Amino acid sequence: LAKTTQPISMDSYEGQEVNITCSHNNIATNDYITWYQQFPSQGPRFIIQGYKTKVTNEVASLFIPADRKSSTLSLPRVSLSDTAVYYCLVGPRILTGGGNKLTFGTGTQLKVEL
Amino acid sequence: GAGVSQSPRYKVAKRGQDVALRCDPISGHVSLFWYQQALGQGPEFLTYFQNEAQLDKSGLPSDRFFAERPEGSVSTLKIQRTQQEDSAVYLCASSSPFGQGAFDTGELFFGEGSRLTVL
């Protein structure tokens, strides 16, 4: 499975846009890019998923360039409640077992201040 | 229930004791995963079930760890002769039915985890 690299931490202020970039140089043709958010003492929560170009939902946007070797999670107008760890995962959309496991890595700790 | 339920939320065990952690996945979810999360680290894959079949157990750290899902719904992760290095949060996740369709993202729905502390 593709290895991902993302910044260990980022700081921002309320109301700003935050962009977290993830590198995945050896992404495979059938791999999707998925982002999860995790608050302390909770399990990770799905944010967004994409394959190419741009995907937007009610909480975030995901930008994926044509070569798909990186992706950027964009959080518009963050608030204190967006302080969390964000994980970038790369892998097949539907797991078929036999080693198709999703790897979380260490994630990016986002801290939002007033 | 509405989400993935795990019990107990907190477990303190003496070194050498056996522990059992339970996971109730979302009803109808075929896939079930166990992850181990050490303090300050991301979740690490332990094992994966599709219905009652354990398709991947490559992440289990030793033969002291055993997982089962006998009827394809509730799963139990058992750790025998616990050691201090087993202290971690154990997360369970379930996923929507396999091959549901083109719009199935394979999203993992996680429980809140079981925090195990081995003294």
Contact state of A103 with B45 under an 8 Å Cβ cutoff: yes
pLDDT per residue as tens digits for the range B51-87? 999 988 999 999 999 999 999 999 999 999 999 999 9
Residue A70, C-beta contacts closer than 8 angstroms, at least 6 positions apart: A21, A22, A23, A24, A64
Contact state of A97 with B42 under an 8 Å Cβ cutoff: no
Residue B113: its pLDDT value, please?
Answer: 97
* Rounded percentage of chain B residues whose pLDDT exceeds 90: 76
Contact state of A41 with B95 under an 8 Å Cβ cutoff: no
Could you list the mean pLDDT of each consecutive 10-residue stretch along chain A, which spans 114 residues?
Answer: 88 97 92 94 94 94 96 97 96 64 87 96
Give the whole-angstrom CA distance, residue A20 versus residue A80. 17
**Facing B112 at nearest CB: one of A32, A42, A93:** A42
Domains of chain B as residue ranges with CATH: 5-118 (2.60.40.10)
H/E stretch holding B116 reads strand B114-118
Residue A98: its pLDDT value, please?
Answer: 46
Contact state of A101 with B48 under an 8 Å Cβ cutoff: yes
Please give the interface size between A and B, counted as residue pairs whose CB atoms are below 8 Å apart: 71
Q: Where are the domains of chain A?
A: 9-113
pLDDT-derived band at B90 (thresholds 50, 70, 90) equals very high
Buried b (16+ CB within 10 A) or exposed e, A38-48: beeeebbebbb
Contact state of A44 with B110 under an 8 Å Cβ cutoff: yes
Residue A91: its pLDDT value, please?
Answer: 86
Chain A contacts to B (CB-CB under 8 A): 32, 34, 36, 41-46, 49, 85, 87, 92-107
pLDDT-derived band at B2 (thresholds 50, 70, 90) equals confident
B105 touches chain A (CB under 8 A): yes
DSSP structure class, residue A47: E
**CA A37 to each of CA A109, B2, B100: distance values in angstroms, whole numbers, following the listed order:** 10, 19, 24
Look-up of token digits 């107990």? B8
**pLDDT mean over B92-113:** 76
Give the whole-angstrom CA distance, residue A111 versus residue A82. 8
DSSP structure class, residue B97: P
Please confirm whether the linkage preceding B25 is cis (ω < 30° from 0): no
Residue A36: its pLDDT value, please?
Answer: 96
Please report residues of B whose CB lies closer than 8 A to that of A98: 55-56
CATH tag, A9-113 = 2.60.40.10
